[in-house]
Amino acid sequence: MTEPDAVPMGTDPLEMDSDQMRRLGYQVIDVLVDRLDGLEGRPVWTGATRAEIDRLLREPSPEEPADPELLVGWLAREILPLSSQNDHPRFFAYVPACPTWPSILGDMLSRGTNTFAGMWLSGAGLAGVEVMVLDWFKDWIGYPAEAGGLLVSGGSAANLTGLACGREAKLGGDLSGAVAYATSQVHHSNGRALRVLGFREEQLRVLEPDADQKIPLKALRSAIERDRAAGRRPWAVLASGGTTNSGAVDPLTELAELCKSEDLWLHVDAAYGGFAALTERGRAALQGLELADSISLDPHKWLFQPYEAGCVLVRESALLESAFKFQADYHQDIHSDSGEVNFSERGIELTRPSRALKIWLSLKTFGVGAFRQTIDRSLDLALEAEQRIQESAEFELLTPASLGVVCFRRTGAAAEDDAQLDELNADLVERLKEDGEAMISSTQINGVYAMRLCILNHRSGPKDVHRTLQWLEKADFAVSAKAGS
């Protein structure tokens, strides 16, 4: 693939000289900026089969050195483009991720110094940055000063961490007969977290959501009552601050009241939706979020950070340490008695990078107002999409715009039944992706196939939403179109 180059002279075969480090670094920056400059004109998605990838990459592990500048150039041409471009202005699938440039550079600074952000002793500066960033998040959410948290890899790790605190607080070591409650709309990582925490599948009661895709309070109350009567031990409610399917927000204030009177832990998974709390509308939609016992947030979604950046906040900070703190002889010299935080004592990771630096650098660079404005614009775009869907004879709105998500389907064909419509809609989603014009994803709403737009990307504008809907509206949509496409 590339010609071997001489290893720099010296005793350390893994060292590079400063000139080469700079050249290579600038090359990487050029690759990244060129990519962003050309993003709008490129397909939103480029896939490859396993066989194609193997043809490009498969070789014995390389014994000989090679020129890293050639390698970076080759990666930029051949490998990096083979992906969905999640920061493309017309990427509306799953949950878009569109990091700002200062956040990318902040991540590079953290990775480049390789600061160990698990202990105050090893990285007071960046541990302090994490304390600061978490305090800002607490403030945005309306959490009290005694709340605490930490940055983790993502929403999945945040859910696991928050639920571990809940288990500690409500059950201690005895999981027998314990039952938690959620609807089918809660993110699957919550169920997985419970499994990892030692619960059996039947210890999560999965309720049918109401017509608005939310937790039905009445059914929840009777389920708790029934379980208590049967001698089981209700301990937690797993709610959503924006479901991934439809953006629905569970009735958080009512759930908090119920959980308080029933002595249950309230975990709110607000991984993608939580940062909407920065805006007035988002805050209204997420009313009651501040009453949760634990909250998951994903700065790598609606706070425009590069992967990985998740966050868990726990109302009673000390519970994090009850759930995770361990003594180890080789840590006997590490103390934290005047407010210094050892973040590794609050979660499952000992070695961890600073995920706070990128957040800090981007928030300071643009100011929080710029983030608020951008999130507000996403909310506007989702409303515009909803309106356009409702005005079109071709579309049927399935769920209204909620925290940037709209679900709908195309109905214009002479389809015989829902099953046939489902197939035709699935085919549209696939053809849009193959075309490269835009990318959306799908879900099930009340048993039918739903196309799903998730508009979170700071690069997306009205014309991007319009172009995408127009494509879906005008594309062939007939029982025969499928075979012919």
Ligand X SMILES: *Cc1c(COP(=O)(O)O)cnc(C)c1O
Going residue by residue from 17 to 36, which x/- string records binding to ligand X, judged by CB under 6 A?
--------------------
Closer to ligand X by Cβ: residue 95 or 264:
95
Closer to ligand X by Cβ: residue 268 or 397:
268
Rounded to whole angstroms, how far apart are CA atoms 219 and 270?
A: 22
Sole binder of ligand X in the list 87, 250, 269, 345 (CB under 6 A) = 269
Closer to ligand X by Cβ: residue 171 or 249:
249
Closer to ligand X by Cβ: residue 89 or 96:
96
| 189 is a contact residue toward ligand X (CB under 6 A) | yes
Nearest distance in Å: CB 192, ligand X? 10
Q: Max alpha carbon distance in the chain (Å)?
A: 77
Rounded to whole angstroms, how far apart are CA atoms 218 and 222?
A: 6
Nearest distance in Å: CB 291, ligand X? 18
- Kindly write down the DSSP assignment for every residue of 371-388, as one continuous string: HHHHHHHHHHHHHHHHHH
Nearest distance in Å: CB 153, ligand X? 7
Closer to ligand X by Cβ: residue 156 or 392:
156
Going residue by residue from 301 to 320, which x/- string records binding to ligand X, judged by CB under 6 A?
---------x----------
Query: b/e for 139-175, b at 16 or more Cβ within 10 A?
Result: ebbebeeebbbbbbbbbbbbbbbbbbbbbbbbbeeeb
Long-range contacts of 477-482 (CB under 8 A, 24+ apart): 477/394, 477/410, 477/412, 477/413, 477/424, 477/428, 478/413, 478/414, 478/424, 479/413, 479/414, 479/415, 479/420, 479/424, 481/424, 481/427, 482/423, 482/424, 482/427
- Kindly write down the DSSP assignment for every residue of 219-234, as one continuous string: HHHHHHHHHHHTT-EE
CB 403 within 8 A of CB 276: yes
Nearest distance in Å: CB 471, ligand X? 25
Closer to ligand X by Cβ: residue 310 or 400:
310
Local structure of 310: helix, strand or coil: strand
Going residue by residue from 222 to 261, which x/- string records binding to ligand X, judged by CB under 6 A?
------------------x---x-----------------
Q: Is 44 exposed, middle or buried (0-12, 13-18, 19+ CB in 10 A)?
A: buried
Query: b/e for 54-68, b at 16 or more Cβ within 10 A?
Result: eeeeeeeeeeeeeeb
Question: Per this entry, what is the length of the chain?
Answer: 485
| 353 is a contact residue toward ligand X (CB under 6 A) | no
Stretch that binds ligand X, among 266-274, 333-341, 386-394, 411-419 (CB under 6 A): 266-274
Q: Alpha helices of 325-398 — where are they, by DSSP H?
A: 356-366, 368-391
| 272 is a contact residue toward ligand X (CB under 6 A) | yes
Closer to ligand X by Cβ: residue 119 or 314:
314
Closer to ligand X by Cβ: residue 297 or 472:
297
Nearest distance in Å: CB 382, ligand X? 15
| 156 is a contact residue toward ligand X (CB under 6 A) | yes
| 398 is a contact residue toward ligand X (CB under 6 A) | no
Going residue by residue from 100 to 119, which x/- string records binding to ligand X, judged by CB under 6 A?
--------------------
Stretch that binds ligand X, among 51-59, 137-145, 269-277, 397-405 (CB under 6 A): 269-277
- Tokens at 258, concatenated: 């119920």
Q: By the criterion CB under 6 A, which residues form the site for ligand X?
A: 95, 154-156, 187, 189, 240, 244, 269, 271-272, 298, 310
